Structure 1
């Protein structure tokens, strides 16, 4: 399986230099603006979001012990492209020279226990007690959606996993309830951090495990680490902004490593489990609207903790 200090499953970690190059994407000029969407734009994004939400609902009966990630990947592609006629958009940022592989060869971003994102679509089978996740990024009629959720495989897991599952869902809805015109990203970052710390978790801040604006492209402006300061300094939410609420919690230190496989898998450095849920919000005059509600979800959950 290889030396765990330099590899995971025999796959080497990226070098510190390559990882630093990925983080420098935060500094690019194109990511310093947040586009404002019209009501018509937001309606089109909501239509795309409905596809992402529906795909996650349709996948749910298949998340059972014994299914492989490769089988899930095929089902996902068949649903997004075949059934719903949308385009798969799996590149968070298309940039050369970063050391980050393109992930066009997976139909969604998969997460499994200590694999935070971009687990390969291989023959690994899900087991009872696993914490599995999917992050759907798709585009319909020129507008993108991005939505994610978690499952406890077999509906039976350790207290560590069940607690993380619940907290990662709660923190997303807690922050959604705070989004409104005039709120600063520092305030949202503080709320997320306080929630995590009060519940015994760490937030992962390593790019691309952050929030981001979205529109015609999967990323069309700001990146949003869920903390105070840094990129968030001086940034204030305005009506018409559309961005993701995806807050990555872990039971460990929060440090990530990238693998040098063809999807640049993100893993926790200490093998601790991690989880996040994701919704896209559109900022309204008085709050925000979730653009990708799934079956059974209730907007009144927003703001609860």
Structure 2
């Protein structure tokens, strides 16, 4: 069941979205050679506590995970792309780090992810990250009333294939609002003109993610961290959006100053 949000409710989601964007921008600045993933995790715990927000990840226990998730961030390095479990790891020069954050403030949720390259970037890693960002932009542009859900999926997939990346269809975007995961599922692969008709008031998290040379995934023994099956590097970009009469409104837009 899809719950359409009123303009006032979308405003409240944007309050949460601004906080999520601010914290991701802070993590992007903090992520440097020698910085431990656990230091990033504890920074976010402090920010959530100061803001009086609620982590959507803490105690999250979906069917695909290994028991309750006991962290407030997903931090995924190199071939890890989704649900990365923060652990004792010092970032190295050239690491590709994906940071994913979802919180609730006053009962309304926002979810976003950003991939950065630590230290000296390799050109092929920059290209991969930019492809996910381009795909996210294309998906957002397709999120207009009267379009179909498949238009978003097809727009994302077209960018991926244009860059030569295969697309995994097992994990993608989703509705959200009062909780982190609501209907509908938003696949990163699909056919234009198919699926649910988009309506003003729908709020979605769009999250294209690609691996450099495969669309297959494996799960770590920790039961959470999802990696490319062939060990190739990965990237992931995500925004929470609201569909309005004028098109998509990005609720988790990054502050203007970026790393």
Using structure 2 for the length normalisation, give the TM-score. Answer: 0.93
CA distance in 2, matches of 1:200, 1:87: 39
Aligned to 1:212: 174
CA distance in 2, matches of 1:86, 1:150: 23
Q: Deviations over 1:218-256 (max 9, x none)?
A: 012111112226xx9531111100001110112122111
Structure 2's unaligned 5+ residue stretches are none
Partner Cα distance (2:238, 2:219) in 1: 21
User: Which residue number corresponds to residue 71 of structure 1?
Assistant: 39
Paired position in structure 2 for 1:249: 210
**1:278 and 2:223 correspond:** no
Q: Does 1:138 align with 2:103?
A: yes
My pick for the range that moved more, 115-124 or 242-251, is 115-124
Question: 2:41–2:73: 8 Å Cα contact kept in structure 1?
Answer: yes
Q: Which residue of 1 aligns with 2:54?
A: 87
CA contact (8 A) 2:61 2:68 kept: no
- Provide the rounded CA distance (Å) in 1 between the counterparts of 2:22 and 2:212: 30
Root mean square deviation of aligned Cα: 1.9
Residue 255 of structure 2 corresponds to 295
Q: 2:25 aligns with which of 53, 57, 65?
A: 57
What is the SS of the residue equivalent to 1:177?
helix
- Residue matched to 1:222: 184
**Alignment partner, residue 43 of structure 1:** 11
Aligned partners of 1:198 and 1:91: how far apart in 2?
37
Give the greater-gyration-radius structure (CA): 1
- What does 1:151-162 correspond to in 2, within 5 Å? 151-154=116-119, 156-162=120-126
Q: For the Cα contact (< 8 Å) 1:91–1:103, is it kept in 2?
A: yes
Question: Is the alpha carbon distance of 1:220 and 1:179 closer, same or farther for their aligned partners in structure 2, counting shifts above 3 Å?
Answer: same
Q: Is the 8 A contact 1:51 1:80 kept in 2?
A: no
1:91–1:102 Cα contact (<8 Å) kept: no
- Deviations along 1:70-116, one digit per CA (max 9) or x if unpaired, are 111111111122x2210111179744xx3522453111111111011
Cα distance in 1, alignment partners of residues 29 and 151 from structure 2:
38
Q: 5+ residue gaps in structure 1? A: 1-32, 298-305
TM-score normalised by the chain length of structure 1 = 0.79
Query: Which piece of structure 1 moves more, 193-202 or 138-147?
Result: 193-202
Alpha-carbon distance in structure 1 between the residues aligned to 2:101 and 2:158: 28
Provide, for residues 181-236 of structure 1, a one-character-per-residue CA deviation record: whole Å limited to 9, x for no partner. 01111122222111111111122222xx300000010012111112226xx95311
Report SS of the residue matched to 1:236.
coil
Distance (Å, rounded) in 2 between the aligned partners of 1:285 and 1:61: 35
Alignment-derived partner of residue 127 in structure 2: 163
In the alignment, is the contact (CA less than 8 A) between 1:250 and 1:273 conserved in 2? yes
Matches within 5 A, 1:182-193: 182-193=146-157
